[in-house]
Structure 1
Amino acid sequence: MLAGQMMTQALTITSIMEFADRVFPEVEIVSFTAENPLHRYTLADAFRRSRQLANALAAAGVQTGDRIATLAWNDYRHFELYYAVPCSGAVCHTINPRLFPEQIDYIINHAEDKLLFTDPAFLPLLEQSKSTLPTLTKIVVLTNAANMPQTSLSNIEDYESFIADHADHFDWPDIDENTASGLCYTSGTTGNPKGVLYSHRSCVLHSYAAALPDTMNLSSKDVILPIVPMFHVNAWSIPYCAAMVGAKIVFPGAKMGDGETLQRLINSEQVTISAGVPTIWLALLNYLRESGKKISSLKRIVVGGAACPLSIIEEFQEKHDVYTHQSWGMTETSPLGVFNTLKSGMDDLPKKELDQIRLKQGRPVFGVDLRIVADDGSIQPWDGESIGEVRIKGNWICSAYYKYEGKASHDEHGYLKTGDVACMDKRGYMRITDRSKDVIKSGGEWISSIELENVAVGHPAILEAAVIGIPDVKWSERPLLIAVKLAGEKIDEKTLLSYLDGKVAKWWIPENVVFVDELPHTATGKVSKKDLRSQFANYITKS
């Protein structure tokens, strides 16, 4: 072998920070926080404070490999933790505050977190757990002394006091790129949550991929609003890839689900791109409809976490000239797996054909290897029809769960078994048809709950919809459509079912519709099918 004669540099989050600090020091970070509705500073300010934070962590006894937990919204202090913790050699463990208290207890104890940084709003949640978190040596509240709330917790300090007396220079250690940088637990829909341990290398490579032209297409000319929470899968790597390219960041804090705040931030800060789950976009569109206001600077949005209905895509495009990109991934994939951008020449396709492509989750991103596997283990062709489980491996895919001794989640070829059911078309676009546990089998044939939901939400009177399977004597299982009406709208079962006719296979159309005031959601904003199946366990079909 003739070896190349090129230099190598460790792929670390530290390298992103040091590069951005030199090249983009003037780039702004704007944050909505409880104490300041429009905090504004620069990347240079952020990294200076990250160095203070790194010194404070060292003074608190934090060592290489220690897990440092965050229970926080998207704001500038959380951004500082995203850099100071992994760059000092520790592990930034982001925790979803929407999980049940018992799950949060389990996660903190399982990770053996040493310090916990929390938003003031979550102190009551932690007060319930104060006797069950033995590994925590200190709790730091993400605020200043003037806004520090009263609490019964001990060994607690506000963030500004925690870092105040420390120098703003720090000698960052040389870190092997395979060193653990972040930890995020799955939502635990079956059993206890499982930890996914990211590395510096995986985060840098994922950030490169996320910023590419055929993914988020980020540059220093962009202003990005990450509505996807920083407590979930590294906020889709936006805090890293935005700094990498010098894009201005606008953090919505606790207002990520508030349409009025989002509209105001988009316009005042001239946001060009944003990312979040479908429920967020429904909230924004509802506000825009009711207020008559516009989002003139916004050019594109990225939708992940659940399939995006055509109605959302069309309303953003036709009413606001905003392009919608679908994507797919999971905690185990960092999360980028596929991303939907059109190939050359596709813009000229007939609208109906183009719509069908845009409804798909997207094409694999270089850096991952994806295949569709049938029940018998055979690899399915990319023909747009053959379905199977999505299996994936690559540079930012989880190889094992943290401290987990349960059933293997990978097949004999090293591919992660995702539990998602999909097909690939000849152009390389993936269409998720369901989670394996959510697919409805009626009369021996499969029905996609996702496609039914997306069509139902297209009705102008429907805000949100979910489909689950219910037992049926004749067909074994039939779909039940559960829908939430838009405020002030009137629609009955017959009208909604008639709307489905011609848009899906006739035998897919449910016999039953139940209207509810709201749907249950998981901690990451997805509709909780588990809760719906429990709620409607005794429902008797009309068929």
Structure 2
Amino acid sequence: MFTTMMDRPLLVSSLLWHAENVFADRVCVSCDGDRGDREFTYRDLGAATRRFAGAFDNLGIRFGTRVATLAWNTFEHLVAYYAVPACGAILHTVNHRMSPDHIVYAMDKAEDEVVLIDADLLPVLEDVLPRLSRVRHVVVFGAFDGIAPIASTTVTRWSFDQLLHDAVPIGEFPEFDETSASSICFTSGTTGLPKGVVYSHRSTVLHAMAISASGGVAIDGSRSYLLTTQMSHVHSWGVPHAGVLQGARLVLPGRHPSPAELLRITTEQTPDVFVGVPAVAVLIRERFDVVPYLHVLGSLRTLWLGGQAPPSGLVNWWAAHGVSTVNGWGMTETSPMGTFSHAPTNHGRPLPLFQVRIVDEEGRTLPWNGFTTGELQVRSPWVTGTYLDDDRTADAFDDGWLRTGDVAVIHPDGQVQIHDRVKDLIKSGGEWISSVELENKLLLHPTVLEAAVIAVPHETWQERPVAWVRLTGEVTDDELRTHLAASLPKFWLPDSFVRVGQIPTTSVGKLDKARMRQLWREDVV
């Protein structure tokens, strides 16, 4: 027997349709520095999206055309999020913080033909453009006057504002197979060249619905989300899709927002949910402590962190200001949300339709008992099943499951607790040491602002831990070891402590332990 249900495709354009028809008058804001804080409604977003799509013939954008963005969290970028995939083209969000070589690799692998870019990021593109033979059009967001011409005779430069002004908006967006590609994102490439993940319309819509469901993230149309996670990386954790679907108020912080600017936005635009990585939350805390902003955190109720487990000291500071911390886990490969916790821990339950398991080194499935550790593997309709034209695919999957590279335990109630990355575990004298647990304990010391622990080679013990710390005051190595020895085995204590003004981070704000190991090998710290 066949179903009697309508066969309607799950398309990104359907998310926008819902917002512009059901939540048309809901007001969002794009905070754009010199251009000021610009309010827009979902009716405005729909109109601009249809008008921009009307200009695609001029840009040679057709079904399947790859369109790159090098852009901040702005209204224009949000328009691109919908206009490009809604017409069947493929949006490639490029993280401008990647190295030039990685940007070239990603854009070449994606076969980008059009680039949408914020004016202040043009130098990033100019640096790599001679190596990008397929790019034919560059569309500039923001002020166009005074921008030097692009140094290429084969590339045409356009003004986004002018394109919108001249375009005839399209009426209905086309329909096509929901498994068609909607967007591309590359991993941050901390252990080699970045790997490409191609999301489908179906996976994007299902992910948006999953993070809107109660019991998980529960994106709520009655709430206001300050979105500091980069829209250039993993769909800004899915909020630009789920937030639009739910009609939530989105507060986009604009071009290169500083901690002080984020505090200003919080004061004037009164979001109640802050979405970002722990590193940004730390910078805001530092700025607040230097120049306290009266009532600046009064509107905030929830700090949604991801990327890595938040340190308890940071969680406690925000709690003292009336802000509770929630935490999510995921990867570029998982769109990215996989698990979510309403407690500030590094574990949470899987989202609906997201399956998890842990396996041992022989690939045997391990029990969910809360203490047996293994490699975390996952599968879901929004988890990638391969990488974009990459021979590393074979090693990343196990019988239909994605190997995450995380060491974890799963509790009987389904809560996943991440212990460490497989590559970051330290094996000393045949015993395992968790770098994450060492970091968390170090962060409990009152003088430690940030901490990262890496393994370094040792003639006798194979590997030993070395801690990198950023401090707020004077403290000796022995005092730090005494602090750790109160709760950790003696052989876990770091052999040395590297005091730095800044701990290396990746292009998405995570600890860059590959870089730390390189600096250690080169004896420059």
TM-score interval for Structure 1 and Structure 2 normalised by the shorter chain: over 0.9
1:52 corresponds to which letter in structure 2?
R
Helix, strand or coil at the partner of 1:224: strand
- Alignment correspondent of 2:315: 313
1:163 corresponds to which letter in structure 2?
L
- Alignment correspondent of 1:491: 475
2:510 corresponds to which letter in structure 1?
K
Matches within 5 A, 1:30-429: 30-146=29-145, 148=147, 151-153=150-152, 154-256=155-257, 258-293=258-293, 294-317=296-319, 319-341=320-342, 358-429=344-415
1:458 corresponds to which letter in structure 2?
L
Deviation at 1:3, TM superposition (A): 4.5
Matched, 1:515 2:499: yes
2:367 corresponds to which letter in structure 1?
P
Deviation at 1:473, TM superposition (A): 3.0
d(CA) in 1 for partners of 2:443, 2:118:
35
d(CA) in 1 for partners of 2:479, 2:20:
58
Classify 1:477/1:412 alpha carbon distance in 2 versus 1 (closer, same or farther; 3 Å): closer
8 Å CA contact 1:409–1:416 kept in 2: the answer is no
8 Å CA contact 1:54–1:170 kept in 2: the answer is no
- Alignment correspondent of 1:352: none
Matches within 5 A, 1:413-452: 413-452=399-438
d(CA) in 1 for partners of 2:36, 2:283:
20
Instruction: Provide the TM-score with structure 1 as the length reference.
Output: 0.92
d(CA) in 1 for partners of 2:522, 2:188:
26
d(CA) in 1 for partners of 2:125, 2:397:
39
Deviation by residue 1:296-324 (Cα, 9 ceiling, x = unmatched) = 1111121111121111122111x112111
2:29 corresponds to which letter in structure 1?
V
Deviation by residue 1:227-251 (Cα, 9 ceiling, x = unmatched) = 1100000111111111111111001
Deviation by residue 1:162-203 (Cα, 9 ceiling, x = unmatched) = 222012343310122111101001122233221100011101
8 Å CA contact 1:195–1:402 kept in 2: the answer is yes
8 Å CA contact 2:330–2:337 kept in 1: the answer is yes
8 Å CA contact 1:29–1:76 kept in 2: the answer is no
Deviation at 1:407, TM superposition (A): 4.5
Deviation at 1:134, TM superposition (A): 1.0
Deviation at 1:254, TM superposition (A): 2.8
Helix, strand or coil at the partner of 1:301: strand
8 Å CA contact 2:119–2:144 kept in 1: the answer is no
Deviation by residue 1:400-441 (Cα, 9 ceiling, x = unmatched) = 111223451444420011111111122322121211111101
Classify 1:452/1:309 alpha carbon distance in 2 versus 1 (closer, same or farther; 3 Å): same
Deviation by residue 1:274-296 (Cα, 9 ceiling, x = unmatched) = 21111011011112222233311
Deviates more, 1:425-434 or 1:176-185: 425-434
d(CA) in 2 for partners of 1:416, 1:502:
38
Deviation at 1:267, TM superposition (A): 2.4
- Alignment correspondent of 2:457: 471
Paired positions, count: 521
**Which blocks of at least 5 consecutive residues in structure 2 are unaligned?**
none
8 Å CA contact 1:145–1:161 kept in 2: the answer is no
Classify 1:138/1:411 alpha carbon distance in 2 versus 1 (closer, same or farther; 3 Å): closer
8 Å CA contact 2:267–2:297 kept in 1: the answer is yes
Deviates more, 1:2-11 or 1:451-460: 2-11
d(CA) in 1 for partners of 2:197, 2:103:
15
8 Å CA contact 1:361–1:431 kept in 2: the answer is yes
Classify 1:4/1:450 alpha carbon distance in 2 versus 1 (closer, same or farther; 3 Å): same
Helix, strand or coil at the partner of 2:54: helix
Instruction: Please report the RMSD computed on the Cα atoms of aligned residues, expressed in angstroms.
Output: 1.9
8 Å CA contact 1:470–1:539 kept in 2: the answer is no
Deviation at 1:492, TM superposition (A): 2.2
8 Å CA contact 1:52–1:170 kept in 2: the answer is no
d(CA) in 1 for partners of 2:313, 2:349:
22
8 Å CA contact 1:410–1:416 kept in 2: the answer is yes
Deviation at 1:498, TM superposition (A): 1.9
Classify 1:443/1:84 alpha carbon distance in 2 versus 1 (closer, same or farther; 3 Å): same
Helix, strand or coil at the partner of 1:73: coil
Deviates more, 1:245-254 or 1:80-89: 245-254
Classify 1:150/1:295 alpha carbon distance in 2 versus 1 (closer, same or farther; 3 Å): farther
d(CA) in 2 for partners of 1:334, 1:505:
38
Classify 1:151/1:491 alpha carbon distance in 2 versus 1 (closer, same or farther; 3 Å): farther
d(CA) in 1 for partners of 2:216, 2:253:
23
d(CA) in 1 for partners of 2:417, 2:467:
21
Helix, strand or coil at the partner of 2:432: strand
d(CA) in 1 for partners of 2:484, 2:111:
50
8 Å CA contact 2:53–2:170 kept in 1: the answer is no
- Of 445, 448, 453, the residue aligned with 1:459 is 445
8 Å CA contact 2:72–2:255 kept in 1: the answer is yes
Deviation at 1:148, TM superposition (A): 4.1
- Alignment correspondent of 1:345: none
Deviation at 1:259, TM superposition (A): 2.0
Deviation by residue 1:131-163 (Cα, 9 ceiling, x = unmatched) = 211111111111143464565355212211122
Helix, strand or coil at the partner of 1:176: coil
- Alignment correspondent of 2:511: 527
Helix, strand or coil at the partner of 1:254: coil
Instruction: Provide the TM-score with structure 2 as the length reference.
Output: 0.95
Deviation at 1:260, TM superposition (A): 1.6
8 Å CA contact 1:120–1:149 kept in 2: the answer is no
- Alignment correspondent of 1:23: 22
d(CA) in 1 for partners of 2:137, 2:523:
49
Classify 1:322/1:8 alpha carbon distance in 2 versus 1 (closer, same or farther; 3 Å): farther
2:518 corresponds to which letter in structure 1?
S
